[in-house]
Structure 1
């Protein structure tokens, strides 16, 4: 008997309520923060810090550390930004709230947003967040202090990433593959175990 062709199933993402979007985004944020490496490992000992042998070796070293300590670096930059606003509590609260909105509604949001029965596009969400950010910075006026705080946090992170010897740091397999630090290749037929061949970064 001739078999009838079965149409491929198609799936569409159904927008969910704003409360559910925020709840799921908060869970994603919490899961991301749980990947923070232990601070004793981050600080390590003086023997774990040295200068890279050459400028060409500095970038691979920083890239490996940035992938491994990405959450730690994000926390440091955020903390430096918060410290720069400590003299203006109102600005700190407003900027902190705007930053939280960016995390929940953009960076950690995986679902379409539904407000009052209407679907809100990603571009509309970004535009709204940009306008809110500009308004917050214009009202509180902490741009200079905030820039200094973020700059200090970036400098600390870059210095740590270049000076921290990444030997002995092991990324999770999925993280390393997704960041391009290791390459997965199909095993040759003659290999016994099959599986994945890992090429660490040079």
Structure 2
């Protein structure tokens, strides 16, 4: 006897999409993006104003770079992306690098450990930035990449100077690591 049009009811068939894996990925993406600062806080027009002097400008730059680090990384990556639209090879390399950025910087739950040493978040940012620039320069889009990096740096610098810091609060751990520089800690 044939069962044309019958819906299989076997529980042994594996689903096409693993719902649990998708749920975990969705949770990690939300948690990873939660570490960046809200864009409305970053672009709050009531918190914009010129600094009172050079020392105030340097203080703002230091505080804003620490506070909006992930947002600034996203801005620079977007500027680089738009500069590479007409260079398909560079765009493919950049897409692969963005995936690396997502997993090693944006969506990381735990610190990276390498040979019993815990790698600082700032070190990961610098290494990924240098790796991105070097690999993109190897794709012969040097003018576009340098222009995008300069544009991104100018945008970040302008924002970090103009954005007031009185309403920004770094947590105590972040404040202590900001003054310590590039460090790696042995994991216990």
TM-score band (shorter)? 0.5 to 0.7
Structure 2 unaligned blocks of 5 or more: 1-26, 116-126, 181-188
Alpha-carbon separation, structure 2, partners of 1:135 and 1:156: 23
Matched, 1:54 2:38: no
Tell me if structure 1 keeps the 8 A contact 2:36–2:71. yes
- 1:6-45 alignment to 2 at 5 Å? 33-45=33-45
Tell me if structure 2 keeps the 8 A contact 1:62–1:161. yes
Q: CA RMSD in A?
A: 3.5
Alpha-carbon separation, structure 2, partners of 1:60 and 1:158: 12
Residue 171 of structure 1 is matched in structure 2 by 170
Runs of 4 or more above 2 Å deviation? 27-34, 98-113, 132-138
Alpha-carbon separation, structure 1, partners of 2:56 and 2:171: 22
Alpha-carbon separation, structure 2, partners of 1:44 and 1:29: 25
Post-superposition CA distance 1:5-39 (Å, at most 9, x none): xxxxxxxxxxxxxxxxxxxxxx9998654311111
TM-score under structure 2 length normalisation: 0.60
What is the count of residue pairs matched by the alignment?
A: 138
Alpha-carbon separation, structure 1, partners of 2:148 and 2:133: 17
Alpha-carbon separation, structure 2, partners of 1:33 and 1:152: 24
Higher helix share: 2
- 1:61-72 alignment to 2 at 5 Å? 61-72=60-71
Stretch of structure 1 that moved more, 92-101 or 145-154: 92-101
Structure 1 unaligned blocks of 5 or more: 1-26, 114-125, 182-202
Post-superposition CA distance 1:70-114 (Å, at most 9, x none): 11101001110111001223321113324544776799772448x
TM-score under structure 1 length normalisation: 0.56
Residue 110 of structure 1 is matched in structure 2 by 112
Residue 188 of structure 1 is matched in structure 2 by none
